[in-house]
Amino acid sequence: MTLQRSLVALVLLWGAIYLASTGYPPALLDDADTVHAEAAREMAAANNFVTLYANHIRYLEKAPLMYWSVALSYKIFGVNEFASRLPLALATLALMLTTLMIGRRLFDERSGFYAALMVATSVGIYLFTRVMWPDVMLTLFLALAFYCFLRASEHDFAQPSWAYGIYLFGALAVLTKGLIGAVFPALIIVGFLLLTGQLGRLWQLKLFTGTLLFFLIAAPWHLLAGMQNKTFFWFYFVNEHFLRYIGKRYPADYDTVPKYLFFTLHLVWLFPWSFFLPLALKYLPFRVRHLHSEEKSRLFLWVWLALIILFFSFSTSQEYYTFPAYPAFALLIAHAISEAEKAWPLRRSKTLFIATQVALSLFCIAGFIAGGLAYWKTRQLTVQGDISTTLARNPEAYALSLGHILDLTPQSLVALRLPILGTAVAFLLGGVLALLLRLKNRHLAANLCLALMMAGVFYCAHRAFIHFEPYLSSKALAEAINRDYQDGQLIVLNGEYEGGSSINFYTRRMVYILNGRQSNLEHGSYYEDAPQIFLNDEEIARMWAEPRRIYLFTDALRLEQVKQNLPPPIYAFAASGGKLILTNQPSQ
């Protein structure tokens, strides 16, 4: 497949999956999504590109590059969902194209195209770019750093000037997600050179001048942030890096995934391409010295993914932390598929190749049967109200990215019938057609069929999110407040800020926080110039009796507790997704 055709196909696929979803579904979510969007909005509004603020409180734990990109997007397109998601969507496209370049350089044109196709259509990359996390940007810069290393080390380090790209993109990775942006390139490159007996070549990678370039790019923001915020260096480097890694960070407001899930869920995040992982395991290196070019390339990719996974195995870990390893997985699987396709006429590896495709197709057929049964069982059921009225609560599972799936009940499937049916049909068509095309030796068409199947699945996921939106976002409640709000009135969130952060983002107003001085805003709240927005039960009770109107956001499960601490009258103002707005004055 020519480079031009590859680029056209990949851009079209990216447009259908990622660009089309930047402004749809319409709401950003509570928690990280709108916390980070609000930090970027306040950055753009104040033109302060050094110190991050969320709800007018210093938000010192994050590196700035993602927020710079979103703030710039707001300056160009205005503050909206499209502008919020566009930088991550563009980073995903850039990651696809970078993976294409690496694959073409290391192996061949088809391997590069397949790897980029996998980046576009793997479940994990799609899922972990639905929330405003910087991991896709981090992965992009790491992949570019590794591309530069591979170019610099070609032909016995004949092009050492490429090494400057390692330091450039490593610095950008540091500005995206902290010190791991420098740790991963150093760890992986040094580890690879050590394994291959080339550690002495390290000096050919422009160590002195490259390090100067790295600090020239990465240091200024850190120095400025330290000068503007007196506790920045301890909080950012010690608390947010070292103590978080060993599980001692304060406040301990993050969850961790059990290790067995941390490892095995990679099969989910790389679906559907993880079914072909056995083909890649055939090329697992059993020697590390005296390798020819292709063997050395595969070894580098194995070192890339293994060290990232191993690094987080000793830390408090979330599933998406190993996102930077996904391109290496994609490249190894893509190369293995390409090699199996080349060997098809010679019947080498044909049995394993067919077996993996049959297994994937059987899984897709099983998905179709399960989806069809769910649709049939719920075809005559109806539900009153939004989906939140049918869901169970399983907060112990919310550390998982898909933890809210466990909230589903048979009644909640009623609202999701059409997305479930669409997903089932996509699985059936994609799984069966891919197998038939594979058996006819039409391998490129088979892989494109799987990619289009996942595009259909992702479209159905977009549709399903519309029903979950009231449950996961408080945008509807914020809009109700906006229609009624007058200057001087107060908005109060009951509990930690993250539980109702979309109220802050969508009202564009500072919110007060009741019994929630914790989590991400706690450290910044102790600065002398921080607004006094944290309230206790006695303070809210006194303010409730004042003549100015108060909008109190709370989860419906806490309603009775809230009522016990407030003096009458208490009026219900709005409700959505299992959440309420109470006021101390009747609606006009």
Is position 287 within any domain? yes
How far lies 414's CA from each of 390, 391, 452, in Å? 9, 11, 26
Q: Can you tell me the distance from the alpha carbon of 343 to that of 223, in angstroms, rounded to the nearest whole number?
A: 56
Q: Is residue 54, in this structure, part of any structural domain at all?
A: no
Give yes or no for residue 348 having a pLDDT over 80. no
Assess contact for 236 and 88: CB atoms under 8 A.
no
CA angle 391, 497, 388 (to 5 degrees): 15
| 37 domain-assigned | no
Length, in residues, of the chain: 588
Question: Which range marks the domain in which residue 554 is found?
Answer: 475-583
Angle, helices 180-195 vs 135-152, to 10°: value is: 30
Sheet holding 534-535, edge to edge: 534-535, 512-514, 490-494, 550-555, 579-583, 571-576
pLDDT higher than 70, residue 406 = no
The residue written with tokens 């563009």 in the block is 90
Are residues 11 and 100 located together in one domain of the fold?
yes
Mean pLDDT, range 491-509, rounded to an integer:
96
Which two tokens mark 144? 């570019």
- What's the Cα-to-Cα distance from 516 to each of 52, 253, 535, rounded to whole Å? 20, 12, 8
Worst-scoring range by mean pLDDT, 88-97, 389-398, 531-540? 389-398
Which residue type occupies 528?
E
Query: Do 385 and 495 belong together in one domain?
Result: no
Residue 385 sits in the same domain as residue 414: yes
CA distance 91 to 83: 13
Judged on CB neighbours under 10 Å (0-12, 13-18, 19+), 568 is exposed
| Amino acid sitting at position 88 | L
Residue 374 domain-assigned? yes
Instruction: Indicate whether 74 and 163 sit together in one domain.
Output: yes
Q: Is residue 52 part of a domain?
A: no
Tell whether 270 and 307 lie within a shared domain.
yes
**Residues 417, 381: Cα–Cα separation, whole Å:** 10
Tell me the two tokens of residue 185.
């390139």
Looking at every residue in the chain, the average pLDDT score rounds to 92
Q: With contact defined as beta carbons under 8 Å apart, do 35 and 212 qualify?
A: no
pLDDT digits (tens, 9 = 90+) for 161-176: 999 999 999 999 999 9
Query: Is residue 267 situated within a structural domain?
Result: yes
CA distance 563 to 441: 68
The pLDDT of 210-216, averaged and rounded, is 98
Percent of the chain topping pLDDT 90: 77
User: In this model, does residue 401 exceed pLDDT 70?
Assistant: no
**pLDDT of res. 258:** 82
Q: What is the pLDDT of residues 138-149, one digit of tens each?
A: 999 999 999 999
Angstrom CA distances, 26 to 41, 62, 83, 473, 553, stand at 17, 26, 12, 10, 21
Least trusted range by pLDDT, from 40-49, 181-190, 369-378, 528-537:
369-378
User: How far is 172 from 218, CA to CA, in rounded Å?
Assistant: 7
Q: Say what the pLDDT of residue 393 is.
A: 66
Q: What is the pLDDT of residue 468?
A: 83
Tokens of 271: 């679906």
pLDDT in tens, 291-318: 788 889 999 999 999 999 999 998 877 8
Neighbours of 461 (CB within 10 A): 18
Q: For position 150, what pLDDT does the model report?
A: 95
Examine the domain organization and report whether 467 and 508 are in the same domain: no
Of 286, 318, 340, the domain-final residue = 340
The two tokens of residue 254 are: 């993050």
Q: How many CB atoms lie within 10 A of CB 539?
A: 14
Query: Of 419, 450, 472, which residue constitutes the final position of a domain?
Result: 472
pLDDT bucket at 383, cuts 50 / 70 / 90? low
More confident call, 99 vs 292 = 99
The last residue of a domain, from among 409, 439, 472: 472
C-alpha closest to that of 306 among 285, 332, 327, 325:
325
- How many domains does the structure of the chain reveal? 3
Tokens (6 digits) for 324: 């930077």
Cross-strand partners of 535: 514
Among the listed ranges 243-252, 530-539, 542-551, which one has the minimum average pLDDT value? 243-252
Could you tell me which of 119, 144, 137 has the C-alpha nearest to residue 62? 137
How buried is residue 336: exposed, middle or buried, by Cβ count under 10 Å (0-12/13-18/19+)? buried
Residues sharing a CB contact under 8 Å with residue 528, sequence separation 6 or more, in sequence order: none
User: What are the distances in angstroms from CA 486 to CA 267, 509, 573?
Assistant: 51, 11, 15
Lowest-confidence segment of 13-22, 29-38, 342-351 by average pLDDT: 342-351
Are residues 279 and 364 both part of a single domain? no
Contact by Cβ (8 Å): 70, 40: yes
Is residue 51 included in any domain, yes or no? no
First to last CA, the chain: 66
SS3 for 579? strand
Are 479 and 468 found together in one domain? no
Q: Are 1 and 109 in contact (CB under 8 A)?
A: yes
Q: Are residues 78 and 136 in the same domain?
A: yes
* Residues above pLDDT 70, as percent of the chain: 94
* Residues 354 and 413 grouped into a single domain: yes
Residue type, position 474, single letter: S
Quick one: average pLDDT of 309-337?
Answer: 92
pLDDT at 403 over 80: no
- Indicate if the alpha-carbon torsion angle 478, 480, 485, 489 is positive or negative: negative
Between 502 and 319, whose confidence is greater? 502
Contact 246, 315 (CB under 8 A): yes
**pLDDT value at position 112?**
97
One domain for residues 481 and 336? no
- Same domain? 326 vs 364: no
Give the rounded distance of the alpha carbon of 180 from its chain centre.
Answer: 16
In a domain, 35, yes or no: no
Q: What is the pLDDT of residue 392?
A: 67
Helix (H) or strand (E) holding 148: helix 135-152
In whole angstroms, what separates CA 276 from the centre of its chain?
24
Phi then psi for residue 350, to 5 deg, are: -65, -40
| 3-state SS track over 486-528 | CCCCEEEEECCHHHHHHHHHHHCCCCEEECCCCHHHCCHHHCC
Tokens of 361: 């197709």
Q: Under DSSP, is residue 572 helix (H, G, I), strand (E, B) or coil?
A: strand
